[in-house]
Structure 1
Amino acid sequence: PINWIIDVDIKGFFDNVDHHWMIECLNQRIADPNFRSIIIKFLKAGVIQEGKYRKTEKGTPQGGILSPILANIYLHYVLDIWFERELKKKICGYTQIVRYADDFIIGAQTKVEAEQILKEIKARLKKFNLEVSAEKTRIIEFGRYAKENAKNRGKSKTDTFEFLGFTHYAGTSRKGNFLMKVRTSKKRRSNSLKRMNEWLKKIRNKHKAKDIWKVLASKLRGHYNYYGVSSNSEEIQNYYHQTMRLTYKWMNRRSQKQSFNWQTFTEYLKLYPLPKPVLVYNMYDIW
């Protein structure tokens, strides 16, 4: 029933959370006044900018350990409950919202309904002093008819959307039926490899190879546990091979003298193997 996706971006969400409304939401969820008081102090702790203290009248610290949790509580009341209890009654066709923290998408049956939903979302967020980013928010056709309709319009590819580190695109099953597929988004893959490169560079001379191997194995498993999803095999294979190249580069620079060549490195990997890519989740079992 989903033929259109509303890919919504809230403009500067973490910087613009209204403290008054946040406290109202916390009052609904947290009975302990002492615990609420601690969270309020966290919200109003202030920031140091250019050596000067500045009060925080709104927003939550982006990157703060509590911020995603607070975002979930806040938008549970601002969006989720309102969407289920009020917005769905205004829409004739099927619609559903999927959200984590401030990142969310909405599915709709028709383009007219998708436009209506977006209009309602904008009005709802405005009530809480939040704004939809016009540049990053869009409505795209996505579903079983998207490929054929795109072809009829002379487009070679259907539109895709990004959500929680994955690019979602229209694919087909072995029987030729529509199937939503995912792959690691280019931005996430690039950032992940950049962090890996920086980490290997930083620790290459500080620890023994066996200790580096233990942490590296843990990092690889963590990547597979998140991105090891059906249809993403090629991407996690690519991530593994890129990581091996980076590991070879920096392990080979542990001293001014080259430690080993690529052949020696591959032999070392046979003796001390690192976790190979594995698909952890079969998302098609969900359907």
Structure 2
Amino acid sequence: MTGAQEPGVMYTKQLRIAALAERFPQRAFTSLAHNIDAQWLKTAYLMTRRDGAVGIDGQTADDFVRDFEANIQRLLEEAKSGRYRAPPVRRVHIPKGDGRTTRPIGIPTFEDKVLQRAVVALLEPLYEHDFRDGSYGFRPGRSAHQAIKTVWDGLSSMGGGWVIDLDIQAFFDTIDHQHLRAFLQQRVKDGVILRLIGKWLKAGVMEAGQWQRGKVGSPQGGVISPMLANVYLHYVLDEWFEKDVKPRLRGRAFSVRFADDAVLAFSNEADARKVLEVLPKRFARFGLTLHPAKTRLVRFRPHREQRAETFDFLGFTHYWGKSRRGRWIIKQKTAKDRFRRALRHISLWCRANRHLPLQVQHRHLCRKVQGHFAYYGICNNGRALQVFRFRVIWYWIKRLSRRSQKGWITWEKAGQLLARLPLPRARVVHRWSF
């Protein structure tokens, strides 16, 4: 491959777009696509994950790069001229945390990933000016842990409150295309960009050899899907909550959203109940449905006489507990469904790979355990981390025993194995002060 560029040129253009977005906050931009040239696409290629699953055409990153310059030029010409035909995404299903149901994921072709990445890089500096501070999902420089800390800070400053735990049913599959286009056109009226997005929305999915037309939704797994989801919920929820809801409230309130996972917090119970009543109507107006059983109001205050209510957000259960000094503080621990899902993944992996050499198994398990600790390693979650590590050891020893003709490995021998091949110890990675 030759000619791939460092992100510097793209970054300079993004700064100009960001400056224009800030200067003209009400303007719908009609000329954006001219920024996408061959160098922009090459940078988008560098930003695209090259070891991911293949789309319906089976093309890999290595296939694309064999004739890199020609492929980049062809992709650019087809996108600009309107001749680009968005292929359907390949639908696969991945297990959810309960181990029984699955989540559909759409895998675009590699060329589609590159072009979608180019469009996302074009829209990001424009919408970063518009998106609210409470929005954290799939935004540059923002993370799930920042969202969790914002929830912690907000509820701590209010001394607790009333929390609406939102659950949108099949959000990515029910995004209304007409509403999405209307939202996009408030800031983007470039025909090339809108045409490309329209083609991706209509491309549909291919599953078990059958093509399904894309009438609604934006398949999870697409590079551009998180951006479109953020735009949709920016107008449906974030802007509405800040501009229409909060000015009418008696008490304090804030919202935190990570993609389609959101919580709304209130200091006043009447405010919370009023918003909970109108939320289903607000979402229904834009083709979305709140899960009637999972969307709930939580009384989130420190209780001295009864067990306090809790809520889950981004894989953590948020609850009240006592600090070492005896003060009530908000704590987080690994949510039960995430804990079970992680252990189930470990168990299945150990069973499928128990015949690999011990050193190879150890290397893979270390990566998996470190990855778990990297996300769930927060203050006050040490016990869950230690239990997770112990259960991983138990599953590993159990599966190794199945391959041994002598039966179950004794804990003495297991201790010798772990002394030679130790798993990472539980550690706190993310801290915030109390």
- TM bucket, shorter chain: 0.7 to 0.9
Cα deviation for residue 67 of structure 1 reads 3.8
Residue 172 (structure 1) aligns with: 322
Matches within 5 A, 1:211-250: 211-250=360-399
Assess if the C-alpha contact under 8 Å between 2:176 and 2:217 holds in 1: yes
- Kindly indicate whether structure 1 or structure 2 has the higher relative contact order, using CA contacts under 8 Å at least 6 residues apart: 1
Task: For 1:14-163, list aligned pairs within 5 A.
Answer: 14-27=172-185, 34=192, 37-48=195-206, 52-62=210-220, 64=222, 66-143=224-301, 146-148=302-304, 151=305, 156-163=306-313
Task: For residues 90-134 of structure 1, give each alpha carbon's deviation from its aligned partner in whole angstroms, at most 9, with x where no partner exists.
Answer: 112110001111111111011100012223433332221112222
> Shift of the alpha carbon at 1:160?
1.0
Residues 210 and 42 of structure 1, relative CA distance in 2, 3 Å threshold: farther
For the residue of structure 2 that corresponds to 1:279, the secondary structure is coil
Amino acid at match of 2:372: H
Evaluate the alpha carbon distance shift between residue 174 and residue 132 of structure 1 in structure 2; reply closer, same or farther with a 3 A threshold: same
Q: Deviations over 1:199-227 (max 9, x none)?
A: 1111222x322122112111111101111
Structure 2 residue identity aligned to 1:147: H
Equivalent of residue 254 in structure 1, options 399, 403, 423: 403
> Residue type of the partner of 2:290?
V
Once the two structures are overlaid, the 10-residue window that deviates more, 264-273 or 115-124, is: 115-124
1 CA distance for matches of 2:419 and 2:188?
A: 53
**Quick one: distance in 2 between partners of 1:260 and 1:92?**
63
Runs of 4+ in 1 over 6 A off after TM superposition: 29-32
1:193 maps to what in 2?
A: 343
My pick for the range that moved more, 5-14 or 235-244, is 5-14
Task: Point out the more displaced range, 92-101 or 65-74.
Answer: 65-74
User: TM-score, structure 1 length as denominator?
Assistant: 0.86
Query: C-alpha separation between the residues in 1 aligned to 2:401 and 2:244?
Result: 61
- Which residues of structure 1 form unaligned runs of 5+? none
In the TM superposition, residue 162 of structure 1 has moved relative to its aligned partner by 1.2
Q: For structure 2, list consecutive stretches of 5 or more residues without a partner in the other structure.
A: 1-157
Tell which deviates more after alignment, 18-27 or 64-73. Answer: 64-73
Shift of 1:57: 0.7
Task: String of CA shifts for 1:125-148, please: whole Å, max 9, x gaps.
Answer: 2221112222111112112xx414
Cα distance between partner residues in 2 of 1:95 and 1:138: 16
Q: Aligned equivalents of 1:255 and 1:105: distance in 2?
A: 49
Instruction: Give aligned-pair identity as a percent.
Output: 36
Identify the range of structure 1 (174-183 vs 159-168) with the bigger mean alpha-carbon deviation.
Answer: 174-183
Counterpart-to-counterpart distance in 2, 1:108 and 1:223? 32
Aligned residues: 276
> Equivalents in 2 of 1:278, 1:252: separation in Å?
28
